[in-house]
Structure 1
């Protein structure tokens, strides 16, 4: 199943890349989530740079965007390692507009691409994770 999805993603990326010109950005913005604690963080990484978040080491291999529309959809190639594992828990392309299409399948962590960082392009306002805004209210007796 996973290989089938990976093949579909590769085909989609190849066909969309053939249909439009893409440019590699010098860096990208990712969001990390610890599903157990609810902690989130936005991480800006340069191409080839890695960061430690929880038990994960997240490396941005590349971040690409449509040349004619830099503020539109971004896709990043990530390699994600976990402490104690020799093989990556994820290695592949993630699309900002469809993070579930090629997602990190991990019981505790989630990582997704928000956008590429393009020099000279104004920063887009990225909405915070909705789970951060939820306020837990205890039911009142009465």
Structure 2
């Protein structure tokens, strides 16, 4: 008896949800997205953690330069921030290699300061993330 009542309720629900899905879909299709403009910066401030010995360091880098962090080489290709807001969310394109292990980069891509786990370096010993862009 309970199973029959649950089955009847389940069969009645899809008609109502279909109408809700259509109106929700119409709202999504009609929505406009605002284009965000970014400004390139001359450099970035990064932070590194050596997970084995607990050393934490912050360092400034110029775009196009590289720095050695332990056994890793970090190259900053570019840093961008929201136009008119240099303290806003930074996006940095990094290339990280580990010489002697592989000629291929162990990380290559954009890191986002506000969401470091979104596209993070996956290394057993080191964590590296972007703090902000440097404007001077």
TM-score range, shorter chain: 0.7 to 0.9
* Post-superposition offset of 1:20: 1.1
Gaps of 5+ in 1: 1-15, 120-142
Q: How many residues align?
A: 103
Q: Which residue of 2 aligns with 1:47?
A: 63
Report which of the two has the higher share of helix.
Answer: 2
Gaps of 5+ in 2: 1-32
Q: Which residue of 2 aligns with 1:67?
A: 83
Out of 92, 104, 107, the position equivalent to 1:87 is 104
SS of 1:68's partner is: coil
TM-score with structure 2 setting the length? 0.73
Q: Partners of 1:71 and 1:40 in 2: how far apart?
A: 22
SS of 2:84's partner is: coil
TM-score with structure 1 setting the length? 0.70
* Post-superposition offset of 1:83: 2.2
Tell me whether 1:109 sits opposite 2:126 in the alignment. Answer: yes
Structure index of larger Rg: 2
4+ long deviations beyond 3 Å: none
* Post-superposition offset of 1:118: 1.1
CA RMSD between the two structures: 1.3
